[in-house]
Amino acid sequence: MIGEFNCHLEDEVQSTTLQENMVAAIKETELMERPIVKSKHLIYEKRTNNVAIKTPHEVQMLVLLKRLPGTKMNEFHNFPLSAQLGFIHAIPEEAFSIDTATIVDVGPLGYFPKKVFQAMQQYERELKRFNSANDTEFRKLMDDLIAAFLYRPITIQKVIHILIAWHKEVLMEMQRNNNANGIRW
Partner 1 sequence: MRQQYRPKQGLFLQMLPFNSISADQIEEESVLRNIMKMTVTCWTHCIYRYPPLTHQAWSYWRELHNEKLILDSLLMSLHKNWKSNDFISNSIIKACPFCTLDNTNSEKKATWSIYIFTANQSIFRKLGNTVSKI
Residue ranges binding partner 1 (CB under 8 A): 29, 32, 34-37, 40-42, 93-94, 98-99, 101-103, 106, 108-118, 150, 153-154, 156-160, 162-164, 167-168, 170-171, 174-175, 178, 185
The SS3 of residue 180 is helix
CB atoms within 10 A of CB 96: 14
Question: Measured from the CB of residue 90, what is the shortest distance to partner 1 in angstroms?
Answer: 15
Residue 25 or 127 with smaller CB distance to partner 1:
25
Please state, in angstroms and rounded to a whole number, the distance separating the CA atoms of residues 50 and 102: 10
Closest listed residue to residue 111, CA positions, set 136, 85, 135? 85
Strands (E), 7-111: 34-38, 41-45
The CB-of-58 to partner 1 minimum distance in angstroms stands at 20
For partner 1, give the closer residue by CB, 2 or 164: 164
Considering beta carbons, is residue 77 or 114 the nearer one to partner 1? 114
d(Cα 107, Cα 153) in Å, to the nearest integer?
A: 9
Q: Which is nearer to partner 1, 35 or 182 (CB)?
A: 35
